[in-house]
Amino acid sequence: MRKNDRMASTPFSARGAVDLGALATSRQNQQKAAAALANAPAGVVIDVTTESFQADVIDRSMTVPVVLDLWATWCGPCKQLSPTLEKLAAEYGGRWVLAKVDVDAEQQIAAAFQVQSIPSVFAVIKGQPIPLFQGAYPEAQIRQVLDELLKVAAEQGVSGTLGADGPSEAPAEPEEAPADPRFEAAYAAIEAGDWPAARSAYQSVLSAEPSDPDAAAGLAMVGLYERTDGVTPPAGDEPPLVAADFAVLQGDFARAFDLGIAVVRSSAGDEREAARQRVLEYFQLAGDDPAVPKARTALASALF
């Protein structure tokens, strides 16, 4: 097996493809990423355009691995993943560079990498692209991917460090907003895999603030994690809502909506109501995904 093939085929569990903590506290995660970057070598996170791609990605990949984060402003899972990648880029201290690509603004780059869904993450080593993963993976699994990436890079003689010629002056660390203990309790429960406790923590927020979007999305995601915990990924003969859950985990909201709405159309009574509620949860998780408007119209049609 070629080294690049080994990276592309690294196995990962489908469950947990979305970082729930990042979903529920995107603002806090962005602050944490900013704080980490304040003490990191300059240039560990860069925005890349078609014009700068040669210098920022291809040329740089000759001495240090470059990780490409292909994202868009409307993509909900991208908002979960990007702060985690930025935080990790800072923590690894220049052993790899995070290059962010807005696929809407840089469609030529997206086409070159044949991007089918976002977020999509690639690496480039010595000018050669390596697919890493799609979807918003949790931090622990991303670390596994990055550690494997660094091993592959070292085997190919790419083991430099950004900023090795000397430290750069870091900007002042931004003041971090105090964490909400109710959300902290939810995150601790999630880390422990204690879904009832996590659900209770998010529900306590909603009891006090029924319109809190982060708590609502967190509660929906806990339900998704609980339903898919220990479940074998779809093989083609599973119930539609099981397949829909896994589609959400992979960021494929269009497929999830299609599967869920089909159950609404074909069922009645409690089964129909359960499917409707499931689709509504997917709307909470999808955020501004472009599949949402069409799916809302389709759900309304299926109901009335």
Per-position pLDDT tens, the chain of length 304: 333 433 333 222 333 334 444 444 444 455 444 444 445 467 789 999 999 999 999 999 999 999 999 999 888 788 888 888 998 998 888 899 999 999 999 999 999 988 888 889 999 999 999 999 988 888 888 999 999 999 999 988 888 887 644 333 434 444 555 668 888 888 888 888 899 999 999 999 999 998 888 888 889 989 999 999 988 888 878 899 999 999 998 889 999 999 999 999 999 999 999 999 999 999 988 887 888 899 999 999 998 8
Euclidean distance between CA atoms 49 and 28, whole angstroms = 27
Which domain, by its residues, includes 124? 3-155
Given a contact cutoff of 8 angstroms between Cβ atoms, the answer to whether 135 and 80 are in contact is: no
In the chain, what are the helix, strand and coil shares in percent, each to the nearest 5? 55, 10, 35
Active site residues: 75, 78
Q: Are residues 108 and 146 in the same domain?
A: yes
160 inside domain? no
d(Cα 78, Cα 110) in Å, to the nearest integer?
15
What is the predicted pLDDT for the residue at 4? 41
Q: How far apart are the first and last CA of the chain?
A: 54
Q: Which residues contact 176 (CB under 8 A, 6 or more apart)?
A: 28, 31, 32, 35
Q: Give the E-state strand segments of 24-127 in sequence order.
A: 45-47, 66-71, 97-102, 120-125
Same domain, 25 and 147: yes
According to the model, what pLDDT value does residue 280 have?
Answer: 94
> Residues 150, 248: one domain?
no
* CA dihedral sign, ordered 94, 30, 102, 135: positive
Which residues are 86's β-sheet partners? none
Is residue 171 one of the residues assigned to a domain?
no
Query: Does 185 lie in the same domain as 146?
Result: no
Number of domains in the chain: 2
Domain-located, residue 172: no
Residue 224 lies in a domain: yes
Q: Which of the listed residues 140, 155, 170 is the one where a domain comes to its end?
A: 155
- Supply the pLDDT for residue 169: 40
